[in-house]
Amino acid sequence: MSGYVYDFIEGNKDLKDLLGGKGANLAEMTRMGLPVPPGFTITTEACQEYLRTGSMPTGLLAEVEHHLRQMQTRIGRTFGDPRDPLLLSVRSGAKFSMPGMMETILDIGLNDSSVAGLARQSGDERFAWDSYRRLIQMFGRTVFDVPAGEFEDGGDRDAAGLKELVEAYKKVFQAHTGRDFPQAIHEQLFLAIGAVFRSWNAERATLYRRQERIPQDLGTAVNIMAMVFGNRGDDSGTGVAFTRDPATGLRGSYGDYLRNAQGEDVVAGIRNTIGLSELATIDPASYRQLLSIMQRLEQRYRDLCDIEFTIENGKLWMLQTRVGKRTPAAAFVIAAQLVDEGTITLDEALQRVTGQQLAQLMFPSFDETTAPPPLTTGVAASPGAAAGAIVFDSAAAAAATGPVILVRRETNPDDLPGMIAAQGILTSRGGKTSHAAVVARGMGKTCVCGAEELEISDDRLVIGGRTLYAGDVISIDGTNGRVYAGSVPVHASKVVRYFEGELTAHGDPLLSAIERLMIHADHSARLGVHANADTSADAARARRFGATGIGLCRTEHMFLGDRRVLIERLILGEHDALAALLPLQRTDFERLFEAMDGLPVTIRLIDPPLHEFLPSLEELTARVARATALGEDPGRDGVLLAAVRRMHEQNPMLGLRGVRLGLVVPGLFAMQVRAVAEAAAARVAAGGDPRPEIMVPLVGAVQELEIVRAEAESILASVPGAPPIRIGTMIEVPRAALTAGQIAGAAEFFSFGTNDLTQMTWGFSRDDVEGAFFGRYLSLGVFATSPFETIDPDGVGELVRIAVERGRATRPDLTVGVCGEHGGDPASVHFFHEAGLDYVSCSPFRVPIARLEAGRAAV
């Protein structure tokens, strides 16, 4: 019978959609013959059905009963048997790991009579009553939302004390729920299953999924497993381990072990653990068995695995495994190692790393040489350098306006909003597998945990006689665990220095891994990677970072600062400004062509939104009013004010920009085209190999382009010694995309300006919406990421596909690129690859990221 429930022996690791990650991997381990406690998994489909209808799917409970009977037969014990009870754990487990976000209930099956059986059978009365009180607390909290704080503490009592505590807990349960704690063990089980289903929609889980871009409709599976106990004395315990170091990627097993404890104690980071290697002395047989299991798991999964295990009276049990989370550095190192070990191919290695991870490795870190002595050193849990004001709770972090460091004794899932808001996280308890560490690594956020010397309370942090309060600035280094008072200067990452050519990869495992994978990415990629650069310094950096051209030189950026007034004069009709601009532009272009010698440089004709280039109407009005009031002549301000009033636009981004300005201000584009041609001719004369291209912005109709093109061609023809210069257009107005067939008649290349194309397709002002309502849109799920960040594949993307198709139908050798912000966004790079573009162009710093993603898209 298989509908909603699969026995562990029936599943395998590839059934994650249906069984969730935990269930699929428990099944895989069971198939491998590893010591997994018997159990079964309720599918995600059952959860989806439950969440849709609000009640248990028909037949589910009968199936559960059936599987439970099979399990009892196999184990030879009966669920909740008063003489020797089989107890169950009920655990959530979605397709994607969501550490600590959903619910787990342990010790299901204990009641007033089976607790005696557990005591007798284990020979440990205290343990039995402790388990029973844990169940009432966990069950009350999870199934009936009884606040955890309502149950008084009492873990250190003796058996009689715990027995009294059970009675007290039952009263709390009764008071809050209006009913007795269920003695019917099957009812316990079914209620627990429903609670785990519902925990999919818990606020923190929803928030986590939004942050991690996990779809909200997957639902969780529920794993029901025979309980094993790590808290049955000194020959018992529980631990978490990794088959390689998840921080550095280096070989060798790594983990934490907690003697005489339940699994949740380790993950919660509540007690400090001992290193896995110490298990070798405490219990050498289990240690050896564990190492051999870890080796088998790595072979099976062909990747770093992490595991949770429990030892019950000297017997090892595997409670979980999965392909483990790792730092970005470890991802690169492990991928390269696995290639060396012959486990995976280079193509697969590329799939094991992401542009996002590379981006994180390019963040700056603290400059060790100028840092003060650290206050203390904790566990380096998640790399990066972060400085900010101390906040002691999640709400304060979420409310903060500047950068903050969330400082907690330990974190729990309720701290998630604060962890998202903070620059970094610092805790005084817990190891690399504590909640803070796991969640921070997942988010790529800097974290130092287990800094035990810190005494952290609700409003202060004390270290060696020194006290710091909320608002005081601290700096934390998640790469080496150091904590500093004040703000520490930062320096460039070693990966950036490598790309800059200041360091070689030789002898450095991380840089060597990156080098190897970048070579393979470049070799595999079909998309080229160009850079958006307006200065020769940016161009030179882009080239060092591997750009093979400039895809966008925004010439209006060459007129910021002192030169802005020249543009102002031009817009206001003072044409003599053109003569002043020509030599300046020529020199700009010459420098750019020199820096990119031999590679294409796409010069975009000027596209200055008027509000960025004209003085503000309000300011001018005030200045003129002041002068008039003082009886002074407002002079030039008066003329300017009249002109600015005349030209004032309500919607400057939809106003007189780009090609429109070029057609309205005579001589403007002509001056730029001349400057390009003369600069190129000068470079040729100097022995260089300039490859300029001229690009017209904001075209919506082929007629606009034809007029500009005719003028440009005649100017180009008039400059002696200039190399051939192609003329193309940006596609950033929806009409241009739709009429691309016509436009390609006058364009040798297209470059999608996806910033404007997104603005005009959605009708979202790119300057305003992000602050105004995108937060709300994201939480409502209108989109999962801002369409200004990741291309909207269905709307804007469809226009891209249409334009590529229609443009190439007219001109088969049309070159097509993209130069909007999306060109450096990992997900968008894959879209552009699929859409058949020739290149993406992005800011110099993102060039390596785009190169890596272009390679990944192709393998």
Active site residues: 435, 819
CA 798 to chain centre: 26
Quick one: which of 753, 817, 824, 844 contacts Mg ion (CB under 5 A)? 753
Taking the complex as a whole, the smallest distance from the CB of residue 698 to ligand PEP amounts, in Å, to 8
| Per-residue buried b or exposed e for 441-477, using 16+ beta carbons within 10 Å of the residue's own CB | bbbbbbbbbbbeebebeeeebebeeeebebeebbbbb
CB 552 to ligand PEP: min, Å: 6
Choose the contact partner of 817 out of ligand PEP, Mg ion, none; CB within 5 to 8 A by kind: none
Q: Which is nearer to Mg ion, 732 or 825 (CB)?
A: 732
Q: Measured from the CB of residue 751, what is the shortest distance to ligand PEP in angstroms?
A: 8
Strands 404-408 and 424-427, bridge-based pairing:
parallel
Sheet holding 466-469, edge to edge: 455-456, 460-463, 466-469
Task: Put residue 422 in one of left, alpha, beta given phi > 0 → left and psi -120 to 50 → alpha.
Answer: beta
- Considering the complex, what minimum distance in angstroms separates the CB of residue 363 from Mg ion? 28
Residue closer to Mg ion, measured from CB, 404 or 605: 605
DSSP string for residues in 154-204: -TT--HHHHHHHHHHHHHHHHHHHSSPPP--HHHHHHHHHHHHHHHTT-HH
Number of residues that bind Mg ion (CB under 5 A): 3
230 binds Mg ion (CB under 5 A): no
Choose the stretch contacting Mg ion; rule: CB under 5 A; options: 125-133, 276-284, 378-386, 725-733: 725-733
* Site mask for Mg ion (CB under 5 A), range 332-371, x = bound: ----------------------------------------
H or E segment to which residue 514 belongs: helix 509-524
Residue 756 found at the interface with Mg ion (CB under 5 A): yes
Q: Which of 314, 297, 311 has the alpha carbon at shortest distance from 30?
A: 297
Residue 697 CB, shortest distance to ligand PEP, in Å, is 7
| Phi and psi angles of residue 753, each rounded to the nearest 5 degrees, phi first | -95, 85
DSSP state of 147: -
CB of 261 to ligand PEP, least distance (A): 55
The least distance separating ligand PEP from the CB of residue 219, rounded to whole angstroms, comes to: 38
Q: How many whole angstroms separate alpha carbon 256 and alpha carbon 634?
A: 75
- Identify what 623 binds: Mg ion, ligand PEP, none; CB under 5 to 8 Å per kind: none
Least spacing, CB of residue 604 vs Mg ion, in Å: 9
Pick from 33, 36, 72: which is nearest to 223 by CA? 36
Residue 849 contact partner, candidates ligand PEP, Mg ion, none, CB within 5 to 8 A by sort of partner = none
Query: By three-state DSSP, how is residue 525 classified?
Result: coil
CB of 736 to ligand PEP, least distance (A): 11
| 820 binds, options ligand PEP, Mg ion, none, Cβ within 5 to 8 A by partner type | ligand PEP
Instruction: Give the H or E element holding residue 695.
Output: strand 691-696
Work out what residue 481 binds among Mg ion, ligand PEP, none; the CB cut-off runs from 5 to 8 Å by kind: none
Nearest residue (CB) to ligand PEP, 552 versus 681: 552
The CB-of-788 to ligand PEP minimum distance in angstroms stands at 10
Q: What angle do CA 361, 367, 371 make, to 5 degrees?
A: 140
Assess 23 for contact with Mg ion (CB under 5 A): no
Q: Which does 124 bind (CB under 5 to 8 A by kind): ligand PEP, Mg ion, none?
A: none
CB 570 within 8 Å of CB 578: yes
Select from 447, 452, 462 the least CA-distant residue to 405: 447
Which residue lies nearer to ligand PEP by CB, 8 or 788? Answer: 788
Given the complex with ligand PEP, which of 320 and 841 has the nearer CB atom? 841
CB nearer to ligand PEP: give 141 or 530.
530
Closer to ligand PEP by Cβ: residue 296 or 554: 554
Nearer to Mg ion, 165 or 695 (CB): 695
**Which residues are near ligand PEP by CB under 6 A?**
552, 554, 607, 732, 753-756, 819-820
844 binds Mg ion (CB under 5 A): no
Q: In terms of residues, how long is the chain?
A: 859
- Site stretch for Mg ion (CB under 5 A), options 745-753, 768-776, 789-797, 827-835: 745-753
- Closer CB to Mg ion, 392 or 832, in the complex: 832
130 lines the binding site for Mg ion (CB under 5 A) = no
Q: Which does 787 bind (CB under 5 to 8 A by kind): Mg ion, ligand PEP, none?
A: none
| Window of 144-152, 535-543, 553-561, 724-732 that interacts with Mg ion by CB under 5 A | 724-732
Burial zone of 717 (CB within 10 Å; 0-12 exposed, 13-18 middle, 19+ buried): exposed
Q: 318 or 818: whose CB is closer to ligand PEP?
A: 818
Cβ(318)–Cβ(34) under 8 Å? Answer: yes
Kindly report the backbone phi and psi dihedral angles of residue 415, in degrees, each rounded to the nearest multiple of 5, phi listed first. Answer: -85, 0
Say if residues 423 and 446 touch (Cβ distance below 8 Å).
Answer: yes
- Residue 637 interacts with which of ligand PEP, Mg ion, none, CB < 5 to 8 Å by class: none
Q: Give the position of tokens 């979202």.
A: 764
Closest CA to 850 of 833, 816, 815, 826: 826
| Span from 261-269, 536-544, 756-764, 844-852 in contact with Mg ion (CB under 5 A) | 756-764
**821 within 8 A of 755, measured Cβ to Cβ:** yes
CA–CA separation, 361 and 847 (whole Å):
14
Q: Which two tokens stand for residue 676?
A: 């390009």
| Binding residues among 486-525 for Mg ion as defined by CB under 5 A | none
576 is written with which tokens? 């003599």
Report the nearest approach of Mg ion to the CB of residue 806 (Å).
Answer: 20
Q: With CA atoms as reference, report the closest residue to 195 among 208, 182, 209.
A: 182
Q: Which residues lie across from 603 on neighbouring strands?
A: 553, 694
Q: Is 821 in the site for Mg ion (CB under 5 A)?
A: no
Half-sphere exposure of 763 (CA within 13 A, CB side): 0
Q: Which stretch binds Mg ion (CB under 5 A): 142-150, 215-223, 297-305, 752-760?
A: 752-760
**To which H or E segment does residue 627 belong?**
helix 617-629
Task: Answer yes or no: are the C-beta atoms of 330 and 842 closer than 8 Å.
Answer: no
Out of 732, 792, 825, 853, the residue judged to bind Mg ion by CB under 5 A: 732
Out of ligand PEP, Mg ion, none, which partner does residue 754 contact, by CB within 5 to 8 A per kind? Answer: ligand PEP
Residue 819, contacted partner among Mg ion, ligand PEP, none, CB below 5-8 A by kind? ligand PEP
Number of helical (H) and strand (E) elements in the chain, helices listed first: 36, 31
CB nearer to ligand PEP: pick between 437 and 533: 533
Query: Which residues of the shown chain bind Mg ion in the complex (CB under 5 A)?
Result: 732, 753, 756
